[in-house]
Amino acid sequence: TEAQSIYEAIGGDDAIDALVEAFYDRVSKHPDLIPIFPDDFTEVARKQKQFLTQFFGGPPLYIMEHGHPMMRKRHLRFQITPTRRNAWLACMEGALEEAKIEEPYRSAIFDRLILTANHMMNTPEEEK
Ligand code: HEM
């Protein structure tokens, strides 16, 4: 039998759409995140859907359009402090709930995103 990816298990495209919409809805209202994000989230949401689709075992949509993800490098132009990392994860935690991603996938997804978010930090708090 074939192992199912997290992407398939949570409901594929519709689940990723719901998650990413709920996520940027929160990001767009978070005081710690507003300063580094654009006013229009259309493009970043589109790219995040592509990225998370492949990150959770779906089709490699991000790499097909943008090449190697190099996520840390793509984030270097933004000051990502521990406070902003916490804010990003708080938005994601709320979005996982709003999008009704069920256990055990919710925790599996969140645990992996914690590791990636840790890797994205590039600025100590005092430089904020
Ligand atoms: C893009 C912030 C973590 C995936 C961005 C952008 C910002 C940002 C400001 C660019 C918006 C623009 O285009 O102007 C942050 C902060 C994080 C974080 C504060 C806190 C740790 C993550 C994590 C992931 C991720 C953990 C993946 C799981 C992406 C993707 C893009 C993006 C896919 C679009 C990249 C592209 O332009 O191709 N992020 N990010 N980010 N972020 Fe993050």
**Is domain 6-127 classified as CATH 1.20.1280.50?**
no
Residue spans per domain, the chain: 6-127
- Asked if residue 116 has its Cβ within 6 Å of ligand 1, the reply is yes
Distance 75 CA to ligand 1 centre (A): 6
Give residue 3's pLDDT band: very low, low, confident or very high (50, 70, 90).
confident
Query: How much is the mean pLDDT over the chain?
Result: 96
- Asked if residue 91 has its Cβ within 6 Å of ligand 1, the reply is no
Distance 36 CA to ligand 1 centre (A): 10
Mean pLDDT, to the nearest integer, of 113-121?
Answer: 98
**For residue range 32-86, what is the model confidence (pLDDT) as tens digits?**
999 999 999 999 999 999 999 999 999 999 999 999 999 999 999 999 999 999 9
pLDDT of residue 48: 98
| Distance between CA atoms of residues 30 and 16, nearest Å | 21
Q: Which amino acid is at 29?
A: K
pTM listed for this prediction: 0.95
